Amino acid sequence: MVGRTLPNLAAPARFRNFGYTGQMIPRQWLLLPGLFLVFGAGFAQDNQPTLNALEKEFQESMSGVILTGRFTRQDGNALAEDKYTIDKVAKVGDDLWRFSARIKYGGQEMTVPISIHVKWAGDTPVLTLTDESVAGMGKYTARIVIYKGQYSGIWGAGQGRGGQMFGTIAKITQ
89-99 tens-digit pLDDT: 999 999 999 99
The ranges assigned to domains in the chain are 53-171
DSSP string, the chain: -TT-PPP-TTS-GGGGGGT---PPPPHHHHHHHHHHHHHHHHHHHHTSPP--HHHHHHHHHHSSEEEEEEE--TT-S--EEEEEEEEEEEE-SSSEEEEEEEEEETTEEEEEEEEEEEEEETTEEEEEEEEEE-TTS-EEEEEEEEETTEEEEEEEEETTEEEEEEEEEEEPP-
Instruction: Kindly tell me if the per-residue pLDDT of 128 is higher than 60.
Output: yes
pLDDT tens-digit map of 22-69: 554 444 444 444 444 444 444 444 567 899 999 999 999 999 999 999
Q: Does domain 53-171 have CATH number 2.40.128?
A: yes
Does this model's pTM top 0.75? My answer is no
pLDDT for position 77: 79
